[in-house]
Amino acid sequence: MKTTPAICVTFKETGGRAYFGSIAAIYECYNRKDLGVSLAYLWQHKLPYENKRVRIERIKILHKPHSNPS
């Protein structure tokens, strides 16, 4: 199995989750008001991060390695 790092954002009110390739990518879809935390704060502190609105954590996505047919 191969692993790929990702960032998981869990919204506490709805239980919904969104997955991103980086912390900065989160802010392409959501803003500081939606998340209750700024991008600068997340860059300066280690994950996981949690507040009353969200939980943001690093995860690993498992996937099968690609095979290139000849």
pLDDT band at 65; cut points 50, 70, 90: confident
Q: Is 70 helix (H, G, I), strand (E, B) or coil?
A: coil
Average pLDDT over residues 24-39: 97
67/37: higher pLDDT: 37
With contact defined as beta carbons under 8 Å apart, do 63 and 1 qualify?
yes
Residue 70 pLDDT exceeds 80:
no
The helix or strand, by DSSP H or E, that contains position 26, with its residue range, turns out to be: helix 23-29
Q: 43-55, pLDDT tens digit by residue?
A: 999 999 999 999 9
pLDDT given at position 66 = 80
